[in-house]
Amino acid sequence: MEVAIAGGGIGGLSLALNLHKRGVSCRVYETAPEIRELGVGITLLPHAMRELATLGVQEAIAAAGIENRESCFFNRFGQLLYKEPRGKFAGYSYPEYGIHRGKLHKILYDEARKVLGEARIVTNRQCLGVDQDDKGIALRMRETSSGADLPPVRADVAIACDGVNSALRKQHYPDEQVAFAGINTWRGVTRHKPILTGRTYMRVGSIRTGKIVIYPIIDKVDDQGNQLINWMAEIQTANAAINDWNKTGKLEDFLPIYENWKYDWLDVGELIRNADQILEYPMVDKDPVDRWTFGRVTFLGDAAHPMYPRGSNGAAQALIDARTLADILAKATDCPAALKEYEAARLAPASKVVRTNREFPPDFINIKVEELTGDKPFANLDDYISQGELRTLSDDYKKIAGFAVESLR
The CATH number for 243's domain is 3.30.9.30
Contacts of 197 (CB under 8 A, 6+ apart): 69, 70
* 276 pLDDT above the threshold of 90: yes
Same domain, 37 and 52: yes
Residue-level pLDDT at 409: 63
Model pTM score: 0.92
CA 209 from chain centre, in angstroms, equals 24
What's the pLDDT tens digit per position in 122-172?
A: 999 999 999 999 889 999 999 999 999 999 999 999 999 999 889 999 999
Query: Which has the closest alpha carbon to 334: 322, 346, 342, 323?
Result: 342
* Whole-number Å distance between alpha carbons of 343 and 328: 11
Same domain, 236 and 309: no
Same domain, 314 and 193: no
Query: Which has the closest alpha carbon to 10: 347, 299, 354, 315?
Result: 315
Q: Give per-residue burial for 156-168: e unless 16+ CB within 10 Å, then b.
A: bbbbbbbbbebbb
* Whole-number Å distance between alpha carbons of 109 and 44: 17
Same domain, 308 and 213: no
Please report whether residue 330 resides in a domain: yes
Query: Which has the closest alpha carbon to 317: 51, 30, 90?
Result: 51
Among candidate residues 319, 339, 359, the one where a domain is terminated: 359
Please report whether residue 91 resides in a domain: no
Same domain, 322 and 272: no
Among candidate residues 338, 359, 380, the one where a domain is terminated: 359
Residue-level pLDDT at 121: 97
Same domain, 115 and 185: no
CATH number at residue 315: 3.50.50.60
What's the pLDDT tens digit per position in 283-310?
A: 888 999 999 999 999 999 999 999 887 7
Q: What is the domain count for the chain?
A: 2
Please report whether residue 77 resides in a domain: no
Please report whether residue 73 resides in a domain: no
311 band by pLDDT with thresholds 50, 70 and 90: low
Residue-level pLDDT at 38: 79
Tell me the residue type at 7: G
Same domain, 381 and 401: yes
| Mean pLDDT score of the chain | 93
What range does the domain containing 165 cover? Answer: 2-67+97-177+289-359
Mean pLDDT to the nearest integer, 396-401:
74
Same domain, 110 and 137: yes
Same domain, 164 and 199: no
Among candidate residues 321, 336, 359, the one where a domain is terminated: 359
Residue-level pLDDT at 401: 66
Residue-level pLDDT at 295: 96
127 in helix, strand or coil?
A: strand
Q: How far is CA 263 from CA 148, 153, 192, 256, in A?
A: 55, 57, 15, 16
| 286 φ, ψ (degrees, to nearest 5) | -135, 150
Got the DSSP string for 326-385? HHHHHT-SSHHHHHHHHHHHHHHHHHHHHHHHHHS-TTHHHHHHHHHHTSS--S-GGGT-
Same domain, 302 and 157: yes
Same domain, 211 and 349: no
What's the pLDDT tens digit per position in 86-118?
A: 999 999 999 999 999 999 999 999 999 999 999
Please report whether residue 368 resides in a domain: yes
397 band by pLDDT with thresholds 50, 70 and 90: confident
Contacts of 62 (CB under 8 A, 6+ apart): 95, 97
